[in-house]
Every structure is written in C-alpha cells, then in structure tokens.
Structure 1
Amino acid sequence: MSEEISERVSLFRSQLQNRRFDDRTLRILESVLVSKDVKSLLEIRSMLRVLMRSESVSVLREIAEKSVDQKLSVVEFFVNAFALVRDVESCLALKYEALVLRDLKHVNHQWLRVSYEEWLTFAEDSLDNGFHSIAAKGFENALLSSQPTNIDNFFAEAEVIERIKKLRDMARALAASHSVQAQAAEYLNRKANQQTSKRELHSSDSSHLASSMFRSGIKKRNMQQLRKSRSLPKNINGS
C-alpha cells in the first residue's frame, strides 16, 4: 500500500471515529479505492470491510436512543459505504434494518411507510446475491405491503402479487435446500469422525490384544525353559 493511500485510509478512519457520516467522508473512501493494482485493491477493500464492520456495530449501539431520522441517516451512510467496498452482505443487512425500522415507525410517520416496490427490490437483490432466507422475508413483507389501491389496478396488481408469491416460495425452497445440504454435510462429517474414532479404537484394541498375546507367549516360553532347567540335575543324578 502506497504512503498516499495509507494517509487516506487514516483520514477515513478518523472521520468514522469522529462520527462524521457525510458526503465528504464517502468521497474520502472513494479516493482510497483508486488503486489500479488488483491485488492491492482487494487487500484495501478487505481491510476497509473489517474497519467499517467494527465501527458500524459501535455506532449503531450509540444511536439506539436517537431519533428515527438520525438512525436512518447513519444507516444510509453505511449502506453507501459498504456498497463502495463491495461488502454486499453488510450492505443488505443494513438495508433490511432500515426498512424494518421504517416499517415499525410509519404508524406515526406516514412518510416512513415502506412500499411493496422497496421490499420487492430489496428481496430480489438478496435473492440474486444468495441470501435466500432474508430474501424470503423481504418477499413476505412485500406481500404484506401490496394492497390493490383501486378496482382499475386490481388485476394488474394481482399479477404482481402472484409473481411475488412465486419468488417467495422459490426463496424459501432455496433456503430449505441450503439448510438440508448443510445438515447433510454436518452429518457426513460427524459419521466420518466416528468411523475414524472406531478405526483408531480398533487399532488400539488390536495392538493391545497382540501385545498381550506376545507377552503371554514369552511368559509361557520362560516357564517352559524354567521347568526344563530344573529337571536337568535330576536326570544327571539318575544316570
């Protein structure tokens, strides 16, 4: 990492620590991500992801008692920041938090109401990026938010609702399939460990049995030699 980039990273970290969640901080972040060296760029992104994940957790705890506007403003900043460093998982996670927050507060603030189009866009993004469980929740929320507004749009919106249901069911199936695969992999791994333990135990038992037989054979042979040696003087005297 060049000295110039290191200075920009330090400046970006300082902005986060001073809780300056504005466009200037985002521009500083953009200036960090200008490396033409692919390897360096990947390393920088990885480092920034770790930094921002840590800072975002601390910040979200700090603003727990703040107003909805303040919370949404901070969450939007981190959504944009994570998008810049291509941390899709964190980006979608914070988007979901923002949508849920708005959904909870929209009773008293109608402007916060989440439309089914917003839920649908979020759900499709989650599905495209492989986050099937969260996508299913997004599609379900889209269904809850989608209500025909008038008779003229009823059939058109009914088609949209049917499409959302199909996407929701597909997301659920994919999530279940992934869960089954994970459970199967865990089961096979557990069985493999059990088989290994059995082989080791069998090997140990066989070794112990062979060792016992060997010692018993030696003991028997020694006894035979002892009896033979004791009988020799008698045979000599008898002659």
Structure 2
Amino acid sequence: MVAVADEYEDALSLFASRLLSHPCTTFGDGEGDHHLRLLQAALSAGPDVPALLHTRSAARRLLQDRAKEAFSAAQAQAPPLDHARILAVADFFARAFALVADVQSCLAMRYEALLLRHTKFSDNHHLKVSREEWSTFAKDALHDGFYNIASKAFAYATAHTHRSQLDSTNSIEKDKINDMTGLQNLAKSLSAKHSVQSESAEYMKRRNSGVHEKYNLQSGKPKLPGSSMYMLGIKTRNIKKLLHSRERNLGDI
C-alpha cells in the first residue's frame, strides 16, 4: 500500500511539474500527449477512491489555471497569430479536462476549437467544421445542461441549410435537419427557462437577505423591562422640561 501511495504522489507531482515547466506552445505536440499519459497515470495510481477524487480535483484546478495562462500567452503574441498552434492547445486542454471529468471546461475548450476552425479554417478541407461535428457537440452540450451553448451550436449546424436546399434533399436528410431544428428550439426554451429560474432564485435570495437583515436590525435593539422603560420615559420628559425652561430664561434676558 505504501508503494502504491508513493507511485500515486510521484505521478501527480511529475504531471504538475511537466505542465508548469513546459511552454504552452508545446501542448499540441507529442509533448502534450506525454503530459496526458502522465495525467492518466496519476489518476490510475491512487490507492483508493478518496485519493482518486483528490487527484482529480487538484489536477482540475491546475489545468484551469494553466489554460488561462496558455490562451493569454497566445493572445499576447505579435500578429499574425499562429491559429494552428492555438487550435492544438485547445485540443490538448479539451482532452485533459475530459480525463479529470471537468465537463464544463471540456465543452468550453471544444467550443473554442470549433469556433476557431469555423472562422479561420473554413477553406481547409481537413479542418473546416462539418454539420455533423456541430450537431454532435450541440447534443453533448444539451445533454450536460449547457443550453445556451447548445443553442448556438445547433444554429451553426443548420446555418448553411436554406429552405431551397431542404426542399431538394431526400427524406432522411430532411428528418435530420428537422431534428436539429427541434433540438435547437428545445435548447432555446430550456435556456430561457433556466435564465428565468436563475433570476427568480437571485431575487428570492436578495429578498430573504433583506428580510433577515431587517429582522437582525430589529432584534438587535435592546429590549428593556417595563419598569426601566417607565423610568426612562420620566427621565426623558424631565430633560425636555429643563431644556424648555432654559430656552425661556434665555429669552427673558
């Protein structure tokens, strides 16, 4: 068990060291594949489930920070940017996030890669995004609850399908297009519903916070017994009479 624990710690430390010490521009090369194998080794070397969850959480945080640095460095490059290199980096992080079960970050990387290919490599036969790729990604995003991204991806999938093309295609192709349109409408509906629910939840949170704060302010006031309140009232009245008498005497002078 000790040997397994040592192997687990060594694999995790080695992955972190390699990821932090190598330039982000190498992530898309064979060096990136080596990093992913180290990550797989770290995830599989844990002696038990808690260790695996700890490794996954630590690797997830590390990857999130490193991804931000990588794309910031890419944006800071002098033009023209090496879009192929950026695409390779996005692909590396998409695969890495998939290994550590960070669904949201994985989808974000995949989406960035698809957008980059769509805008910069539309004339490249090997890199341009097909309708099937947009559709597959959109279904994944919809399944995982990212409705807004799913809606946008379905829009890209159906963007180049005009009504004239739809009328001239066969029934199987029409069914595919209609299915995507239906899923896009579903994603839009769920996105709007989710937005309303989020706003309602935020409103109730603020409202409850306000009520709680008001209650705290009220409950924070000292509550005096009846006898003390009576004596305090007499004292207050006597002070007012004294002030009134002084004002009257000053007026006579």
Whole-Å separation in 2 of the counterparts to 1:118 and 1:178: 26
Deviation at 1:106, TM superposition (A): 2.6
Residue of structure 1 equivalent to 2:37: 27
Residue of structure 2 equivalent to 1:3: 6
Aligned letter for 1:75?
A
Paired residues of 2:8 and 2:47 also in contact (CA < 8 A): no
Residue of structure 2 equivalent to 1:114: 129
TM-score by length of 1: 0.80
Deviation at 1:2, TM superposition (A): 2.4
Give the structure, 1 or 2, with the largest relative contact order (CA under 8 Å, sep 6 or more). Answer: 2
Q: 1:25 to 1:204 in 2, by over 3 A?
A: closer
Aligned letter for 2:140?
D
Paired residues of 2:122 and 2:129 also in contact (CA < 8 A): no
Residue identity over aligned pairs, in percent, reads: 35
**RMSD, aligned α-carbons:** 2.9
Whole-Å separation in 2 of the counterparts to 1:220 and 1:139: 76
Aligned letter for 2:73?
E
Paired residues of 1:126 and 1:132 also in contact (CA < 8 A): yes
Paired residues of 1:116 and 1:146 also in contact (CA < 8 A): no
> Structure 2: which 5+ residue stretches go unaligned?
239-253
Residue of structure 1 equivalent to 2:66: 55
Whole-Å separation in 2 of the counterparts to 1:59 and 1:164: 34
Whole-Å separation in 2 of the counterparts to 1:40 and 1:102: 38
Deviation at 1:206, TM superposition (A): 8.5
> Structure 1: which 5+ residue stretches go unaligned?
222-239
1:125-159 CA distances to partner (integer Å, 9 max, x unpaired)? 11111111111111111111446879773433222
Q: Which moved more, 1:166-175 or 1:210-219?
A: 210-219
Residue of structure 1 equivalent to 2:96: 81
Deviation at 1:58, TM superposition (A): 0.8
TM-score by length of 2: 0.76
Q: How many residue pairs end up in the alignment? A: 221
Paired residues of 2:8 and 2:42 also in contact (CA < 8 A): yes
Aligned letter for 1:48?
A
